[in-house]
Structure 1
Amino acid sequence: MNAPRDLPQRVVNRTLQRDGAATLGEQLAARFAERIGQRTLQPGARLPSVRECARLHGVSPSTVVAAYDQLQAQGLVEAQRQRGFFVREAPAPRGGAGAAIAGAAARPPALPAPIDATALIRGMFQGRQGHVGPGLGTLPEPWLDAALIERALRRTLPHAADALRYGDPAGDPGLRQALSRRLDGELGIAADPGQIVTTLGATHALDIVARTLLQPGDAVLVDEPGWAVEFARLTRLGMRLLPVPRGPNGPDLAVMQALIAEHRPRLYVTVSVLHNPTGHTLSLATAHQVLKLADAHDLLIVEDDTYAWLAPPHAPRLAALDGLQRTVYVSGFSKILAPNWRVGYVAATPALAERFIDTKLLMTLTSPALLERAVAWCLDQGLLRRHAERVIQRLDTARQRVMRLATDAGCTFVAPPQGLFGWIDTGVDTDQLGTRLAEQGWLVAPGSLFHARPRPSTLMRINFASSQDAAFWQCFTAARRALQQPTRVRGAAET
């Protein structure tokens, strides 16, 4: 959904043009329409009150009323008496009610679908140049080693002719050998090169695993809180999500056992080390209990170790404890090398690895051998390990600074700060907080993103590396204070 067609493109920029071809009301409506179309304003989200919106944009309340009236006429928002204006649900897909009923009858009962995780991802790609977001899931660009990437790419140039043909379906042999050495020597995971399949990043690896091992309607155990992208991806594949509360030591074993007994899930997808968003790491005792449950109930565990390069090597990995018998290990390099280096991999038993290759062939045929060889060179030379050590040191310093800033802003940490992310309690609804901060150009990750069943939350995930700007915390404090102040509601069309 785009801005109104008769408006020039520039009206959707951040600054309203008082001398523009469109009125201020039209420009403001176009801005909201763009955010709704990009799903950075979710269905059900409440728009700022008329007075608050007028204050934020420096316009009169009547201008805001005119903009909201246009949005309502376009079917993008609805007014709820004594409550305000809310983004409307997307229109139902075409095909008729009969088709929808027939499709529902053919599927097992599904748990409520999660919120659309693409809102945060779209915001990441649309961020202003040089303006980092506290809600981002990656390292800031200045933290990355561009010189290392350039050197690695130059090393692949003598093999550029290999790009003229398809590569090995399992992935570049040199990278798989380097990965085998790292897994065994540094993480204690015994996997020979034949048990490793390369992918287009860790997310692609998780998708290959799900498409290989699951059928629509299958139940899948997931951590809660957990990552919204995984919730949304599994739901779109037709899976039923079974949230397991995640605590400091790992999943709630009693809840997990009860869900297994009732639903007979096929998979448990988890982040053992530096869990997203809490930063928790699975304890050795809980890891053993999880593996016992998996063995007793024929459950396969998918271990997502996306943040492996930021974690201590001695942290317990399920794949190391059971020798990849009931675990499938997934990781990648975009979090440490560069977000655009979509190189990941999956390690499993030889039989499962062959099945994953078949799925990979159907999805992408092969993966880019030149990029994989560049990563292999970084591993073999020890350069990636040294780069990771520098990042970890820098992250330790950033974490201490952000802890002070967040505490001074009135937040409390609900999990011990570790790794890249902090899990904080703001004391206010972070969906509303996120909307206010987005108006000022700050992308945050509200707590509702991390629940399989959406619900309001006062929690928020922050990226320690990209939350060091005191200007953000000043905006955060002002927005938080405004939400804490009681307001007198005068109806949807308050002026």
Structure 2
Amino acid sequence: MLTRTHSQTLTEQLAALFSERIRNRLLAPGARLPSVRECARQHSVSPHTVVAAYDQLLAQGLVEARRQRGFFVRQAEAADRAEPAARGAAPAAPVATVLAAAPAAPADASTLIRGMFHRQSDKPQPGMGVLPPDWLDSSFMPAAVRRVTGPAALREFSLQYGDPAGDASLRASLAQKLAGLQLPVTPAQIVTTVGATHALDIVSRTLLRAGDPVMVEEPGWAVEFARLEALGMRVLPVPRRADGPDLAVMQRYCEAHAPKLFVSVSVLHNPTGHCLSPGSAHRVLQLAAQHDFHIVEDDTYGHLAPEHATRLAVLDGLQRVIYVSGFAKVLAPNWRIGFLAAAPPLVERLLETKLLATLTTPALFERALAWCIDQGQLRRHVERIRLRLDGARGRAVKLALAHGCTLASEPAGLFGWLDTGVDTDTLTQRMLDQGYLLAPGSLFHARRQPTTLMRINFATAQDAGFWKAFGRTRDAMR
């Protein structure tokens, strides 16, 4: 809340608030700021204060005024160029001449990632995509690191590069773990990566060239849409249903565009929580064989799912499917350990891409993870998280329903997909003022569009205070 102080006026406080959000990309380039009247109401200040604050943002080159439309965050490059000159220049158009604008859109795909590093407050953050640190805390991880960092081992890890494919002991442990999923692979078919996102990037850079069409499930992981577009790919969104992707849409894409790749989250899909059915999996593999495209299966959330859940890689035997997973979600986010598994002829190409980007990956934490897997520590740790998540899911769903939300999909895994009944882009900005970061549904579409849906993290959505604030804000919007 803005407060009157001797050191900073209300105008300066309001301008600083928007400036910080713009610089941290909590307001993305192109996002529209609230209208003068709406902003004044939200922050309990006069319209004159808002006008003066927006004038400061204009002078700093952070926003631009579009006549008859409102105020918009400038593109980063334009803002960088404009800022030095703007310090001594008048705004391009006075704030008072611009008519009321619609509420601001939330930030782009990087918002949720940046939110992990720039927390809005000490309050629980229902929009986050990770488990709370206290859920991940354990005594066995420090023990694992101590076990593999004796003087000789530490010297080996520090003074020479490791195996480009990854630590041999970890790849052996992963091969054994995948066998438990009925996916028989050899250690030579596995390449370790700097997290699962790095694995997805290696696959894209190996199999695709700029302009290639790629099918991606929608709603889907916001970062994946952004990453593929940054690489110059043509993103073809495939509607995701409860049993799998819309096969009719995939068929039309195959006939019209000849896509090179399909990116899928078969198990505990983000954000809906859906799991692929065997029938849909069989048909997807038929399409891949018929139209000659690869499939990358992102099994990041598979740790939280039953082992018998349907996986494309298992049915396909890694002929066309590249399997990707990691451990940041359930074990140690800062260890940044992921991996991919593929058919032998493709592994060398994937490894070549890894070599060009990172040479190798740090072996110390990989060796520690291998010990955690071999000793059964990881399995027991995940079982505890599953039990805790089951309880959190029930409580979060009860609170969501009590505050007027409806379930857009059956609750499962880490995420809930809810219908709020109001535009969640606007809701996100208003809740941000109260210290809560949400994940609006528009972030999970290849082309952002208004929606009443939002994703919640069951582990961080159990706070009654959040839901009370949510209810008040939503009712005010209505």
Equivalent of residue 174 in structure 1, options 169, 177, 187: 169
> Are 1:60 and 2:54 matched, yes or no?
no
Offset at residue 358 of structure 1 (A) = 1.1
1:220 touches 1:265 (CA, 8 Å); kept in 2? Answer: yes
> Are 1:357 and 2:344 matched, yes or no?
no
Q: Which has the higher contact order (CA 8 A, sep 6+)?
A: 1
Aligned to 1:162: 156
Offset at residue 57 of structure 1 (A) = 3.4
Q: Give SS of 2:335's match.
A: coil
Q: Give SS of 1:330's match.
A: strand
> Are 1:322 and 2:316 matched, yes or no?
yes
Q: Deviations over 1:324-357 (max 9, x none)?
A: 0010000000000022120000000112111111
In structure 1, distance between residues paired with 2:234 and 2:115: 27
Aligned to 2:329: 335
Aligned to 1:153: 145
Offset at residue 168 of structure 1 (A) = 0.4
In structure 2, distance between residues paired with 1:43 and 1:169: 38
1:221 touches 1:265 (CA, 8 Å); kept in 2? Answer: yes
Q: Deviations over 1:27-83 (max 9, x none)?
A: 211220221122211234333344443344343332222112222344433456676
Q: Aligned letter for 2:143?
A: R
Equivalent of residue 126 in structure 1, options 118, 125, 143: 118
Aligned to 1:45: 31
1:178 touches 1:379 (CA, 8 Å); kept in 2? Answer: yes
Q: Give SS of 2:334's match.
A: coil
1:138 touches 1:335 (CA, 8 Å); kept in 2? Answer: yes
Equivalent of residue 277 in structure 2, options 280, 283, 288: 283
> Are 1:138 and 2:130 matched, yes or no?
yes
Q: Which range is displaced more, 383-392 or 74-83?
A: 74-83
In structure 2, distance between residues paired with 1:93 and 1:173: 48
> Are 1:87 and 2:73 matched, yes or no?
yes
Q: Which range is displaced more, 130-139 or 242-251?
A: 130-139
Aligned to 1:103: none
In structure 2, distance between residues paired with 1:216 and 1:34: 34
In structure 2, distance between residues paired with 1:94 and 1:216: 28
Q: Deviations over 1:113-140 (max 9, x none)?
A: x983112211221115643310111100
Aligned to 2:259: 265
Aligned to 2:462: 468
| Equivalent residue runs for 1:393-472 within 5 Å | 393-472=387-466
1:115 touches 1:228 (CA, 8 Å); kept in 2? Answer: no
In structure 1, distance between residues paired with 2:450 and 2:225: 17
Aligned to 1:18: 5
Shift of the 367–154 alpha-carbon distance from structure 1 to 2, 3 Å rule, reads same
1:300 touches 1:327 (CA, 8 Å); kept in 2? Answer: yes
1:115 touches 1:232 (CA, 8 Å); kept in 2? Answer: no
Percentage of pairs with the same residue: 63
Offset at residue 93 of structure 1 (A) = 10
Q: Which range is displaced more, 245-254 or 51-60?
A: 51-60
| Equivalent residue runs for 1:161-310 within 5 Å | 161-163=155-157, 164-184=159-179, 186-310=180-304
In structure 2, distance between residues paired with 1:392 and 1:285: 27
Aligned to 1:480: 474
Equivalent of residue 108 in structure 2, options 111, 116, 135: 116
Equivalent of residue 307 in structure 2, options 307, 310, 313: 313
Aligned to 1:487: none
Q: Aligned letter for 1:289?
A: R
Shift of the 130–90 alpha-carbon distance from structure 1 to 2, 3 Å rule, reads closer
| Equivalent residue runs for 1:65-84 within 5 Å | 65-79=51-65, 84=70
Aligned to 1:491: none
Aligned to 1:489: none
Q: Aligned letter for 1:182?
A: K
In structure 2, distance between residues paired with 1:132 and 1:123: 12
TM-score w.r.t. the length of structure 1 is: 0.87
Shift of the 93–237 alpha-carbon distance from structure 1 to 2, 3 Å rule, reads farther
1:219 touches 1:264 (CA, 8 Å); kept in 2? Answer: yes
In structure 2, distance between residues paired with 1:30 and 1:125: 19
Q: Aligned letter for 1:364?
A: T
**Unmatched tracts of structure 2, length 5 or more:** 82-105
Aligned to 1:381: 375
Q: Give SS of 2:148's match.
A: helix
In structure 1, distance between residues paired with 2:418 and 2:239: 17
Shift of the 145–123 alpha-carbon distance from structure 1 to 2, 3 Å rule, reads closer
Offset at residue 401 of structure 1 (A) = 0.4
Q: Give SS of 1:460's match.
A: strand
**Count of matched residue pairs:** 451
Q: Aligned letter for 1:298?
A: D
In structure 2, distance between residues paired with 1:286 and 1:292: 10
Q: Deviations over 1:382-410 (max 9, x none)?
A: 11011101100000000010001101111
In structure 1, distance between residues paired with 2:280 and 2:471: 38
1:46 touches 1:432 (CA, 8 Å); kept in 2? Answer: no
In structure 1, distance between residues paired with 2:260 and 2:326: 24
1:16 touches 1:24 (CA, 8 Å); kept in 2? Answer: yes
C-alpha RMSD of the superposition: 2.0
In structure 1, distance between residues paired with 2:466 and 2:69: 29
1:16 touches 1:28 (CA, 8 Å); kept in 2? Answer: no
Q: Aligned letter for 1:133?
A: Q
In structure 1, distance between residues paired with 2:247 and 2:169: 40
In structure 2, distance between residues paired with 1:16 and 1:140: 32
